[in-house]
Amino acid sequence: MALKTLNTEHYKAIGFLALPKPQRPTVDEIAKECGVHRATIFAWRKEPLFEAELKRQMIRNSQDDLPELIESLPKIAIRDGNAAMAKLALQINGMLTDKIEVEAKETGTTDVDALQKRIEAFRARQSETDELRH
């Protein structure tokens, strides 16, 4: 059954799981701190609500390091000749986008008569070209 809300034990586990590996306790230690069995921790990790909050906590934990990370991207891209890193640095700075926007402007109604005249003119030119080829 899917989790509908998170309780104190969930948030405690999330706090531990969101830590970098060198600082993170083992699953057994986390389970003991939360007062649950280790299998419960693994079951929670399969829950979308739990995983979403874990990801949010990881982001909160790493926000202080983002300025240094972003600053280092161009240096790493240049030093290593890393195109993916260069692309990421450009995207972060708004200089490169994967999204292409097309703006359609409505010009009013279509002049059907003018369009038909252009089609007829095209057909006439096409006929003249065909006659010259034969």
79-116 pLDDT, tens per residue? 999 888 888 888 887 787 777 777 777 777 778 888 89
User: What pLDDT does residue 92 have?
Assistant: 80
Could you report the per-residue pLDDT of 4-30, keeping only the tens digit for each? 999 999 999 999 999 999 999 999 999
Tokens at residue 54, please? 């874990």
Centre a 10 Å sphere on the Cβ of residue 50 and count the other Cβ atoms it contains.
21
Q: How far apart are CA 14 and CA 8, in angstroms?
A: 10
pTM: 0.57
Q: Give the C-alpha separation, 38 to 16, whole Å.
A: 13
In whole angstroms, what is the distance from residue 25 CA to residue 47 CA?
21
